Amino acid sequence: MEALIQELRTFIVDNFLFGDGSGRFAFANDDSFQQRGIVDSTGILELVCHLQERYGISIDDAEIVPDNLDSVTKVARFVERKTAERVARAS
């Protein structure tokens, strides 16, 4: 989980904060993307595309909700759950 969180943070920082996740742009893993203004509607779609490609999971429209995607921790949990589901289906 720790490694996954780090990897997701790097993606958020590189793509939405253009490489600067410090100072004024510093954010905690539980901070809401929506409330902090870190990710906008376009950003969420980019994030979803990235998760699908990087982790080989498929994300349904119905899953694009704050509970799954609105903080680094939530995304990490969501990716873990989706990955586990994929593995379970494959076996």
Residue 64 sits in the site that holds another protein (CB under 8 A): yes
Q: Residue 1 or residue 36: which is nearer to another protein going by CB?
A: 36
Those residues whose C-beta lies under 8 Å from the C-beta of residue 30, and which sit 6 or more positions away, are 71, 72, 73
Distances (CA, A) of 17 to 11, 40, 42, 81: 9, 12, 14, 27
- How many residues bind another protein, per CB under 8 A? 25
> Given the complex with another protein, which of 41 and 91 has the nearer CB atom?
41
Contact assessment for residue 43 and residue 16, using Cβ atoms and an 8 Å cutoff: yes
21 touching another protein, by CB under 8 A? no
**Contact flag: residue 2 with another protein (CB under 8 A):** no
Tell me if 50 contacts another protein by CB under 8 A.
no
Cβ-based burial of 47 (10 A; exposed 0-12, middle 13-18, buried ≥19): buried
Interacting residue ranges for another protein, rule: CB under 8 A = 17-20, 24-25, 33-37, 39-45, 61-62, 64-66, 69-70
